[in-house]
Chains A and B, each alone.
Chain A
Amino acid sequence: MSDNKFSVTVRVWRQAGPGGKGRMESYKVPDVSPDMSFLEMLDVLNEDLVRRDESPIAFDSDCREGICGCCGLVVNGDVHGPDEHSTVCQLHMRRFRDGDVITVEPWRVKSFPVLKDLVADRSSLDRIMAAGGYISVNTGAAPDANAIPVDKDDAEEAMDAAACIGCGACVAACPNGSAMLFTGAKISQLALLPQGKPEKARRALAMVEAMDAEGFGNCANEYECEAVCPKDVKVANIARMNREFLLGNFLSKR
């Protein structure tokens, strides 16, 4: 609605394909409305590029309401942009001013190889999940949902951890490229719930092992992951993961 349009320049990482060399390229975007989301600004730029028969900038995004975890860009060095605890799809252009030069990069993580431009391959996170991010119960085998009461505080804490959207921002923000917040959140969620307790030792060991195998680094104790997490998942989950891992090592029959 606003007629206070302005223009910005975006410097974007362009990379033709997996493993290829990349470079930064600059594009001017006129007629930016403050009500536009950041990704809508990129949409507008892409439309122009397509019309000019230039290659549009590839980036992942889907729900555009901060829950699917598809999007993930580094904007001016900030993972998911300058807003706290937000995804980049929720960033709006009202945060920028006329004449700004905005640098846009993909997640830069060894375990998330770039496929093209700003699109990174985060399938390593799925593989960590496959290693043990579940409760082993077959469909049809469950008791009545109220047969097992769950302490409300535990349920709330499990929900805090379960809010993770799997975007990988925690990894992108970590100087060591660690996936411990992601992994710790899932281990915590399931360890806190009585339903998840029987296999918690096995789970912690298997998920940590998978995390290491994917080449993610160790926790750097910088708390950058928590600072950028769109869902404010806490580093306390890493501490719980470490506890569960240690306990698991003691208790493991493997």
Chain B
Amino acid sequence: MKTLILRSASSYLLPVLLIFSVFILLRGHYLPGGGFVGGLVAAIAFVLDAFANGLKKTKILIKIHPGFLMPLGLLVAFLSGISPMIIADMPIMTGLWAGHPIPVIGAIGTPLFFDIGVYLVVIGASLTIIFTISESA
């Protein structure tokens, strides 16, 4: 499927979609969105790139194997979950928030980091599955 149109389009679409996925991730707290959907959108962005330029080039572009994002994301989510226990001696998964919201990003707190963890895991897991299957098919 290496058509010229798709290839040219994907080189613009990839960064735009990635930014969009981060946008969805961040807006999740107040409006529809969140880590799960954001992660799926990011995964779709990379898959689109793989369709256009071939899997090998996409893999080179990502640099690390997407599988590594899974433990990383799980670690982030886990740390954000237990941080209230360590920092403030509160039960696990209690939300901790830092003062005033920052423009663009919004309120910073442990739930945000938890969502980032989910985001990373979803990207890692879906890309691992899709890349593995497409390599073996």
- State whether these chains interact: no
